[in-house]
């Protein structure tokens, strides 16, 4: 397995936040101290009594379009197993047949939107010279597992069957996603393998959640002691542990106690067999609760014979690609995915 650590730009600092992350987390802390932050309820109160739209409104970031060429955007409604699925198709300005990237947004399976990831998707289309199909899958709690996953896999099938219509090579399909979307991407790759459909040829997973059961394995045992923290402890520890504590809330909303959280289509790290999955790029953030399970998943993929590359962004926290245009690492992440895809399909 190839492992790459990306340092904080223009800095030799180790064990601390990127200055841009520090500023935002500091502001978040001030908001919290003033009582302006959203209270995360105990999981038992979800999904009935919690104002889900309030939580969804807090997700994402007002990011920036960093593209330098014309990216055509087409809005389309496709038909899947559970009805219509809305997608946005981003196409580069170059002519010819392109690779395709299906992108599944993050948001804890209960939030996120096509708008949240529009600028990362446009950047990916430009930098990879690929058609990017962003999928508006069904969200929990209104649509529990496996509704959103089914939508994502249906979108893969639609792209494969309509390759000529959208100008892509059906033999060059990548699945990609951030956080919950990274889970959906790698599980779609599992389903593709299990069904023998052979549609997916690469997976790019951005700080994916892959152990929703939180079960210790030979690859994974979570501990705050595994994070190197030389500075900014007052911000890093609450950020990392806050996501850990909120995980059961999101998972209960997604599964609604109808599915075993240890099922391999929910927690792919716990799968007995990862052989036969497509080549993988796994990207993690240093100060993210999901970092340790993402690294464990990369190791398990590699041991299973899957060609795997792991990239860790120093000083970054969870959901950093939402801040494309503000964090240089967000755009660099799109560059790394694009370069990996171009190498894979060259």
Catalytic residue among 151, 288, 317, 322: 288
Kindly state the percentage of the chain with pLDDT values over 70. Answer: 95
Question: What is the distance between the alpha carbons of residues 173 and 130, in angstroms, rounded to a whole number?
Answer: 10
Q: Is 194 a residue of the active site?
A: no
Question: What is the distance between the alpha carbons of residues 186 and 206, in angstroms, rounded to a whole number?
Answer: 11
- pLDDT recorded at residue 60: 87
164-186 pLDDT tens trace: 999 999 999 999 999 999 999 99
Stated as kind and residue range, the H or E segment containing 158 is: helix 147-161
Q: Is the per-residue pLDDT at 42 higher than 90?
A: no
**8-17, 47-56, 198-207, range with the lowest pLDDT:** 47-56
Q: Is the per-residue pLDDT at 44 higher than 50?
A: no
Domain parsing of the chain, residue ranges: 2-345
**Predicted TM-score of the model (pTM):** 0.95
Question: What is the distance between the alpha carbons of residues 69 and 175, in angstroms, rounded to a whole number?
Answer: 23
- pLDDT recorded at residue 43: 41
Work out the average pLDDT over 74-88.
97
Contact indicator for 256, 144 with CB cutoff of 8 Å: yes
Kindly state the percentage of the chain with pLDDT values over 90. Answer: 85
263-308 pLDDT tens trace: 999 999 999 999 999 999 999 999 999 999 999 999 999 999 999 9
- pLDDT recorded at residue 40: 43
Question: What is the distance between the alpha carbons of residues 104 and 270, in angstroms, rounded to a whole number?
Answer: 21
Over the chain, what is the mean pLDDT?
Answer: 94
Q: Which residues pair with 2 in a beta bridge?
A: 309
- Domain 2-345 is classified in which CATH homologous superfamily? Alpha/Beta hydrolase fold, catalytic domain (3.40.50.1820)
**7-21, 33-47, 181-195, 321-335, range with the lowest pLDDT:** 33-47
Q: Is the per-residue pLDDT at 45 higher than 70?
A: no
Question: What is the distance between the alpha carbons of residues 80 and 157, in angstroms, rounded to a whole number?
Answer: 9
* Edge-to-edge order in the sheet of strand 98-104: 2-6, 308-317, 279-287, 202-206, 168-178, 98-104, 131-136, 83-91, 72-80
| Chain centroid to CA 108 | 10
For the four alpha carbons of 334, 120, 10 and 26, in that order, the dihedral sign comes to negative
1-32 pLDDT tens trace: 999 999 999 999 999 999 999 999 999 888 87
92-113 pLDDT tens trace: 999 999 999 999 999 999 999 9
| Chain centroid to CA 215 | 21
- pLDDT recorded at residue 50: 63
221-270 pLDDT tens trace: 999 999 999 999 999 999 999 888 887 888 899 999 999 999 999 999 99
- pLDDT recorded at residue 49: 53
Q: Is 179 a residue of the active site?
A: yes
* Distance (Å) of CA 246 to CA 243, 250, 261: 5, 7, 15
Question: What is the distance between the alpha carbons of residues 289 and 206, in angstroms, rounded to a whole number?
Answer: 13
Question: What is the distance between the alpha carbons of residues 161 and 197, in angstroms, rounded to a whole number?
Answer: 12
- pLDDT recorded at residue 57: 86
Catalytic residue among 43, 134, 179, 267: 179
């Amino acid at each position: 397995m190839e492992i790459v650590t990306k340092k904080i730009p223009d800095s030799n600092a180790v064990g601390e936040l990127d200055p841009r992350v520090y500023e935002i987390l500091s502001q978040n802390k001030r908001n919290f101290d003033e009582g302006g932050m959203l209270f995360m309820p105990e999981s038992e109160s979800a999904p009935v009594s919690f104002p889900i739209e309030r939580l969804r409104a807090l997700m994402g970031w007002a990011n920036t379009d960093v593209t330098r060429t014309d990216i055509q955007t087409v809005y389309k409604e496709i038909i899947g197993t559970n009805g219509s699925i809305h997608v946005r198709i981003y196409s580069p300005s170059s002519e010819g047949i392109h690779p395709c990237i299906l992108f599944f947004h993050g948001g804890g399976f209960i939030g996120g939107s096509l708008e949240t990831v529009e600028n990362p998707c446009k950047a990916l289309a430009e930098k990879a010279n690929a058609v990017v199909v962003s999928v508006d899958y069904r969200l929990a709690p209104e649509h529990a597992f496996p509704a959103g996953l089914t939508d994502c896999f249906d979108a893969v099938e639609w792209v494969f069957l309509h390759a000529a219509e959208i100008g892509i090579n059906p033999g060059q399909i990548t699945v990609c996603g951030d956080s919950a979307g990274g889970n959906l991407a790698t599980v779609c790759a599992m389903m593709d393998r299990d069904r023998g459909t052979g549609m997916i040829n690469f997976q790019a997973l951005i700080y994916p959640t892959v152990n929703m059961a939180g079960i210790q394995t030979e690859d994974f045992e979570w501990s705050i002691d595994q994070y190197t923290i030389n500075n900014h402890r007052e911000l890093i520890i609450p950020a990392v542990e806050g996501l850990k504590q909120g995980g059961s809330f999101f998972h209960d909303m997604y599964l609604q106690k109808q599915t075993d959280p240890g099922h391999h289509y929910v927690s792919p790290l716990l799968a007995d067999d990862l052989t036969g999955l497509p080549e993988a790029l796994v990207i993690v953030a240093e100060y993210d609760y999901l970092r340790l399970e993402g690294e464990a998943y990369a190791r398990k993929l590699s041991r299973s014979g899957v060609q795997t590359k792991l990239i860790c962004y120093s000083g970054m926290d969870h959901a950093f690609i939402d801040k494309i245009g503000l964090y240089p690492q967000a755009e660099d992440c799109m560059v790394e995915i694009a370069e990996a895809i171009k190498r894979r399909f060259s």
